[in-house]
Amino acid sequence: MSEPQVSLDGLDSFLQTLVAEENASPHTLKAYRTDLTQFAGFMNAWLSGCETDYRGRAPRPRAATSPSEEGAAGSTAGEHGERQAEIVLVDPAEIHSGSVRGWVARMHAAGLSPVTMGRKLAAVRSFCTHLCRTGVLDGNPARPIRNPKTPQTLPRFLMESEVEKLLDAPDGSPEGIRDRAVLEVLYATGLRASELTGIEVDDIDLDGRTLRVLGKGRRERIVPFGVHAQRALQEYLPVRKRWIEAQPSEPAFFVTPRGKALTTAGLRRLLARGLEHASIAKQVTPHSLRHSFATHLLNAGADLRAIQELLGHASLGTTQRYTHLSTAQMKAVYDRAHPRARRADTE
């Protein structure tokens, strides 16, 4: 018989609330379900006094070695094959700070990164907040648990000269024309990868040079783009028209030669191809172009709140990390240029 499937009682109701009240995306719902199901597995073992990892998985039992053991193990399936796995619901009223701390300790032991642990803790906090609102809990047991400290890393970005080389890399083939349009739009708008692949035909105003974007939390924003991106998009339109002849109802603006919507995996391959042709050896992702967009705007004197709106950040604090990057650059320039900052060659 299969191992029982463990879940938190009320999890589906919580996820439905996220959709109704916060317009949560399918990606967000999937992440919450994964994290809270792992917590449920741990809670089930914790309440039973069993030692497990953060997912509620115990060490595997030794394999059956004797005929009698093999027979006993196989008899649970019955004559008609394996039975359907039992579903075990964990009572969320049993959640307390001690169990949450125990879960964090198991995540530490498993070597999870501080960012991953913080995300999983946020899922439990949000679920417990929902339980407080519905009267299941009197207080949020996860609130006192602090997130692990994360190292302060500056966003990876390309220099302006490197961006120019990347944008010039695609050739004049149909795919090259598509690739240039994609790269121009990424750099011109600072879109996330999922936002770019989600663009539909009706979202683009070529004459007005604006894009309607559906970002995180289903928040809609209008993002402008420049004449270079406009020209690249206009050159791509006839290519798209030929490619979608077999899929005339495809709403996605950026498509493959088969007329299917470009995926985020396809976008990463497209970027890798451009980096290779441009002879750029840096590890660059689509998000790096988003960082480049923000950094170059800030260095040119753009207002931080304007950049926040363009990027679709809910919090200004998220945008402010680019000020650290700009400050670091200014300090490097100062150290190289100012006569009293340069180290003397001789004492």
- Domain chopping of the chain, boundaries: 5-61+75-133, 160-335
Among 130, 192, 240, 291, the one annotated catalytic: 192
Q: What pLDDT does 117 receive?
A: 93
Catalytic, 216? Answer yes
Q: What pLDDT does 1 receive?
A: 47
Q: What pLDDT does 8 receive?
A: 92
Per-residue confidence band for 60, with pLDDT thresholds at 50, 70 and 90? very low
Per-residue confidence band for 101, with pLDDT thresholds at 50, 70 and 90? very high
> Quick one: average pLDDT of 120-125?
94
User: CB neighbours of 216 closer than 8 A, spacing ≥ 6?
Assistant: 25, 28, 192, 312, 314
Cα separation, 239 vs 177, whole angstroms: 8
Among 106, 130, 178, 290, the one annotated catalytic: 290
Residues above pLDDT 70, as percent of the chain? 79
Catalytic, 269? Answer no
Say which residue the tokens 């991953």 belong to: 116
Least reliable range by pLDDT among 125-139, 143-157, 234-248, 302-316: 143-157
Q: What pLDDT does 73 receive?
A: 38
Among 143, 277, 287, 321, the one annotated catalytic: 287
Catalytic, 322? Answer yes
Catalytic, 313? Answer yes
10 versus 149: which is more confidently predicted? 10
Catalytic, 290? Answer yes
> Quick one: average pLDDT of 62-87?
45
Q: Residue 260 has which token pair? A: 């299917």
The answer on pLDDT for 343 being more than 70 is: no
Per-residue confidence band for 328, with pLDDT thresholds at 50, 70 and 90? low
The answer on pLDDT for 308 being more than 50 is: yes
Strands (E) across 236-313 are located at none
Question: Over the stretch 190-219, which tens digit does the pLDDT of each residue have?
Answer: 898 999 999 999 999 999 999 998 877 677
**Cβ contacts of 65-72, under 8 Å, gap ≥ 24:** none
The answer on pLDDT for 257 being more than 50 is: yes
What architecture is domain 160-335? Orthogonal Bundle (1.10)
Q: Residue 225 has which token pair? A: 């783009």
Least reliable range by pLDDT among 11-15, 132-136, 157-161: 157-161
Cα separation, 322 vs 308, whole angstroms: 11
The answer on pLDDT for 44 being more than 60 is: yes
The answer on pLDDT for 277 being more than 90 is: yes
The answer on pLDDT for 118 being more than 70 is: yes
